[in-house]
Amino acid sequence: MGTARHRILSAIRAHGPLTRAQLARAASLAPSTVTEVVQALAAERTLVETEIVRSEQRRTGPKSRALAFEPSLSATVGVDFGFRTVRALVADASGTPLADGRAELPADYGADEGLRIARQLVDEVIDRAGVPRPPNAGVAVPGPIDTQHQEVVASSILPGWAGYDSAAFESALGLPVILENDANLAALGEHTYGAGRGVANTLTIKFHSGIGAGVILHDRLVSGIRGGAGEIGHVEVDPQGPLCRCGKRGCLDTFASVPAILATLRPHREVDSVGELLALLEAGDAGAERCIRDAALAVGRVASTAALLLAPERIIIVGAMARAGDVVTDAIREVLERQAIPQAHTVPEVVLGSLDDRHSAMGAVAIGLGAQGWLPEESTPRRPESTPRAG
C-alpha cells in the first residue's frame, strides 16, 4: 500500500487532477487498489474530488470526478524578473497569494547574479508561506522567450540571458520552472485573476520601462513563434528616429517608454524616476501632463492597429504609467475611437489593470497552477507535458 500511495500522489503531481481510471493507468495499478488507496487519502484530506473536466472527456462522454490535492497542500511560486527588481509570490491552488516578496537587482545584472538573488527570495517566501516546497514555479522574464523550447531567445533586449533554458532556471531556483515573457504573463494574470476575468478577447499593454503587450484570444494566451506575439514596443514609429535598444530605429519604445518620457522632460524639469514624474503630474505640471499624454497617444496609435487586427473586447493598461490613470486611458481611448471603422467596428473598452504591480507574478502563478492541472484548460497555455488519455 505504501508504494501504491506514492505512485498515486506522484501521478497527480505530474499530471494534475486525474479520474480513478486515469490514475490506474498512470500509476500502473489495479482499479481496486486505486479505489482503496484513494479512499484512505480522501479520508485524511490529502486528496479531494474536483469538477475539473478535460476536453478529451467532454468529447467522449459525461464528466467524471477527478482527484486532486487538497488546495491548501498545493501551491506554486510566481517569479517576475524586472530590469531592477525581482518579485516572488507563493499562491495556493486557488491563486490566493500566501506570501509575497521583492528584492532589488543591480543595474545591468547578469543572469547568474539575478538567479542567485531570486533563489534567496524564493526560499524566503516559501518559508513565510508555511507550505512544503511547491511542485513548480512560473517565471516571467522581460524579453523574448521561446515558449515551445522553454528558453530565452538571444536578443539585444536581454543580453546575457541568451540560451538560459528552463533547466538552467530549475537548477538555480531549486524547482521545475515554466518560462514566459512578462507582458504575456501580465495578460494571463489579468485574464485569470484581474481586470480581464470573464472576457475572452483582451489586449493587455504593459506601459513601463519598455512597452509590451499580451494577447488573449478565445480565452487563450497567444505567444506566437519564438514568443514574439505582442512586441508592440518595437513597432517602427519613425524610421529616422532614435536608436532603440533592440538595434532598430524609431521604435515605439524610443518615444513612449518611461525612460523616453523622462528624457523628453529632463531639459526643463528635475525628474529621474516614475515617482517624481507622477508627483509633477499630481501637482498640475502642464509639461509633465503633455509628455505623458503624447506618449499615451503614441501607444494608442499602435494599439488601435492591433485592435483592427484582433478586435479585442477590452484593452487593459498595466505597468508604471498605468498609475497616471485617466491621462493615459483617455488618450488611448481617443485614438481607438478615431481609428475604428465608423459604425462597423466596436471600440474596445480601455481599463486599468486591477492587480497593481503583481500582474506578471500572478500570470506566472497561473501557468504554474495550469501545469499542475488546477485551472480550467481553456484559460491556460499549452501544457508542457502530455496527459494520459481518458480511460
Q: How near is the Cβ of 259 to Zn ion at its closest, in Å?
A: 13
Sheet with 349-352, edge to edge strand ranges: 220-222, 211-217, 202-207, 314-318, 349-352
Stretch in the footprint of Zn ion (CB under 5 A) among 192-200, 242-250, 275-283, 351-359: 242-250
Which regions of 161-288 does DSSP assign to beta strands (E)?
177-181, 202-207, 211-217, 220-222
- Number of residues counted as binding Zn ion (CB under 5 A): 5
Considering only 158-166, 231-239, 296-304, 323-331, which stretch makes contact with Zn ion by CB under 5 A? 231-239
Query: What is the three-class DSSP state of 76?
Result: strand
Min dist. Cβ of residue 339 to Zn ion (A): 22
Among 5, 248, 249, 269, binds Zn ion (CB under 5 A): 248
* Residue 345 buriedness (CB in 10 A; 0-12 / 13-18 / 19+): middle
Q: Which of 380, 383, 384, 382 is nearest to 192 (CA)?
A: 380
Q: At its nearest, how many Å lie between Zn ion and the CB of residue 101?
A: 32
d(CA 241, CA 26): 57
Q: Which residues make Cβ contacts (< 8 Å) with residue 191, sequence separation at least 6? A: 197, 199, 202, 204, 216, 219, 221, 366, 379
Question: In angstroms, what is the minimal distance from the CB of 133 to Zn ion?
Answer: 39
| 3 state SS of 247 | coil
Residue 359 interacting with Zn ion (CB under 5 A): no
| Closest distance to Zn ion from the beta carbon of 202 (Å) | 24
Segment near Zn ion (CB under 5 A); pick from 16-24, 178-186, 228-236, 309-317 = 228-236
By CB under 5 A, the residues from 250 to 279 that bind Zn ion are: 251
Q: Which of 50, 41, 44 is nearest to 71 (CA)?
A: 50
Nearer to Zn ion among residue 5 and residue 248 (C-beta) = 248
249 binds Zn ion (CB under 5 A): no
Which residue in the set 246, 292, 331, 366 belongs to the binding site for Zn ion (CB under 5 A)? 246
Rounded Cα–Cα distance for residues 125 and 127 (Å): 5
Select from 141-149, 205-213, 249-257, 377-385 the region that touches Zn ion (CB under 5 A): 249-257
Residue 246 Cβ vs Zn ion, minimum distance, rounded to whole Å: 3
Q: Which stretch binds Zn ion (CB under 5 A): 88-96, 189-197, 244-252, 272-280?
A: 244-252
- State how far the alpha carbon of 346 is from the alpha carbons of 185, 203, 314, 341, 353, in Å: 26, 14, 10, 8, 21
Minimum Å gap between C-beta 232 and Zn ion is: 10
244 is a site residue for Zn ion (CB under 5 A) = yes
Minimum CB distance to Zn ion smaller for 253 or for 357: 253
Give the closest residue to 261 by CA, choosing from 208, 323, 332: 208
251 or 260: whose CB is closer to Zn ion?
Answer: 251
Return the CA Rg of the chain. 23
Minimum gap (Å) between residue 157 Cβ and Zn ion: 8
Using rule CB under 5 A, residue 234 touches Zn ion: yes
Contacts with Zn ion, residue ranges (CB under 5 A): 234, 244, 246, 248, 251
